[in-house]
Structure 1
Amino acid sequence: MTSRDILEMLAATGGGPVYAEARTVADRFFGRGVYVRGVVEFSNHCRKNCHYCGLRVANTGLERFRLEPEGILAAAALARELGAGTVVLQSGEDLRYDRRVIGDLVRRIRDTLDVAVTLSLGDFDRDTYAYWRDCGADRYLLKMETFDEALHARLRPGCTVADRLARVEMLQSLGYETGSGIIVGLPGMTDAILAEDIHRLSQLGLEMIAAGPFIPHPSTPLAAPVDHAIEKSLLVTAVLRLLNPGANIPATSALDALAADGRTRGLDAGANVVMPSVTPDAVRGGYSIYPGKNAAGRDVRDAVHGLFERLRNAGYTPVADKGFSRIAGACGGNADV
């Protein structure tokens, strides 16, 4: 499928048939089971200054936090207790945590909880990525956001598509299950750019792929209100499923920030993963990448149980499985992209 073919799909009115086809493909590979990944957001400090992100270093109004290792381990244990088969350690790009600290966390989580471990920590060098892989990290998530060079450079100051892509390919070469993704509806993103993003993302042979809607953050240069891209984001999810049948694709938390049934609609469009936050209540609201990222004032257990109830009511089953991808059995799913 070419970028032109994808562009025609994005321009089609009404996504119902595409959603149904994507859900059929997801059912073939994953059934109605939904992998649960518990996300521990352990620091909202970040050295980057991305224009779309509330954690950007220039946001001096954000109350910053860091969790100590024991607090991170406690949150990981809670994730396992609540039914997650994977623990995701996520933060802004915070250099305060020595790579050995992260490596020790990976080892202890794997040894004590019998879960897969995903890291989402940003840009580091090959030696650091290799060290964490040797410590037992199973997966790494490093989102491209967009492959368009001009848009990428404008929204991620000091960063380039080439450098980010090289890191994604480096992670693949080190044996990680590797994930990446895009933001749908970024200011300046046309359907032509989006179609090319989908095409290039699908050429990478990734085990994990994400596409979430852009939500303006009031403390960023992109604070101006926009028409929310939830429908376009759902359509992109469906197209990504058709192009990457065996990949793990999350129904992103950003969907729930825009609609009460956002994540179940994401599953209906072909997603097969949910990633609830298990960050401690006292600080979880501070991981404010976008408004509504972590609902304030709601107990973690209540939030996760509420999500599971919604999934079951929609005909899906939360699965406490490590949830490795099925791309090896995807019979040419990526080969012809």
Structure 2
Amino acid sequence: MESLKNTEYYSDQTLKNWIENESMNEALANKADSIRRNIYGDDVYIRGLIEFSNFCKNDCFYCGIRKSNKNVERYRLLPQEIIDCADIGYKLGFRTYVMQSGEDTYYTDDMIVEIVEKVKENHSDTAITLSLGEKSYDSYKRFYDAGADRYLLREETSDREHYSKLHPSFMSFDHRREALWQLKEIGYQVGGGFMVDSPYQTTENLI
């Protein structure tokens, strides 16, 4: 068994051994905790999550709010209700908001811009993260210019074949990646990443 060295790169086989060998769990957790402490110390970062719609035009096979799921009680918040949530959160001490929804076509770019601008107008010392799914470059740019600071868009998997098992054929692995590069180019702090234990996931997918 290789020791956990202070380096960023390990062979695929080493990673496979670590992931699949449960006896390594404690050592890996301790190493991760050490890295976390070196970077963040013991600070706790709190975000106010405003889940404002669970309607979605997509049909991702793993997702509970996929459009074909008829057992979901759907809801939408009005723009003013979203702004009100931010006001309440501010009074409670939140200074970062994550505004998240399914890919809901009800909300136009003008509506999102209005919400972001109003929250920033009311609370200039806050940061806003949007998580609205795949949009056009122009939409991303408008949201950023309105005051959005960050954008969360999960890549979900870095393996093209695995991606095709999680999504219908009209969704594109390349388009998702291109969206992430566009967000970074515009100037957002970008959150991405993959899901752990998603359907059909293999150790090789994680690596």
Partner Cα separation in structure 2 for residue 7 and residue 120 of structure 1: 32
Report the counterpart of residue 37 of structure 2 in structure 1. 27
After superposition, what is the alpha-carbon deviation per residue over 1:161-187, rounded to whole angstroms, capped at 9, x for unaligned?
211111001100000000112111122
- Which segment drifts farther, 152-161 or 97-106? 152-161
Are 2:62 and 2:199, in contact at CA under 8 Å, matched by a contact in 1?
no
Q: Return the offset for 1:85.
A: 2.1
Report the counterpart of residue 89 of structure 2 in structure 1. 79
After the TM superposition, which residues 88-103 of structure 1 pair with which residues of structure 2 at under 5 Å, given as runs? Answer: 88-103=98-113
Matched, 1:176 2:188: yes
Distance 1:3 1:62, change over 3 A: farther
After superposition, what is the alpha-carbon deviation per residue over 1:58-110, rounded to whole angstroms, capped at 9, x for unaligned?
01222211111111011112222333221111000011111011111111112
Matched, 1:7 2:26: no
Distance 1:3 1:165, change over 3 A: farther
The root-mean-square deviation of aligned C-alpha atoms, in Å, is: 1.4
Report the counterpart of residue 115 of structure 2 in structure 1. 105
The one-letter code of the counterpart of 2:163 is: H
- SS in structure 1 at match of 2:151: strand
Partner Cα separation in structure 2 for residue 76 and residue 7 of structure 1: 43
The one-letter code of the counterpart of 1:35 is: Y
- SS in structure 2 at match of 1:118: strand
Partner Cα separation in structure 1 for residue 99 and residue 16 of structure 2: 35
Are 2:165 and 2:200, in contact at CA under 8 Å, matched by a contact in 1?
no
Are 2:56 and 2:102, in contact at CA under 8 Å, matched by a contact in 1?
yes
Q: Return the offset for 1:44.
A: 0.8
Q: Return the offset for 1:191.
A: 0.5
Q: What number of residue pairs does the alignment pair up?
A: 195
Report the counterpart of residue 201 of structure 2 in structure 1. 189
Greater RCO between the two (CA within 8 Å, min separation 6)?
1
Q: TM-score, normalised by structure 1?
A: 0.56
Identity of aligned residues (%): 35
Partner Cα separation in structure 1 for residue 87 and residue 40 of structure 2: 26
Partner Cα separation in structure 2 for residue 39 and residue 152 of structure 1: 27
Partner Cα separation in structure 1 for residue 26 and residue 146 of structure 2: 44
Report the counterpart of residue 47 of structure 1 in structure 2. 57
Structure 1 alignment gaps of length 5 or more: 196-337
After the TM superposition, which residues 109-124 of structure 1 pair with which residues of structure 2 at under 5 Å, given as runs? Answer: 109-113=119-123, 114-124=125-135
Q: Based on CA coordinates, which of the two structures has the bigger radius of gyration?
A: 2
Are 2:100 and 2:130, in contact at CA under 8 Å, matched by a contact in 1?
yes
Report the counterpart of residue 149 of structure 2 in structure 1. 138
Partner Cα separation in structure 1 for residue 167 and residue 18 of structure 2: 28
Report the counterpart of residue 150 of structure 1 in structure 2. 161
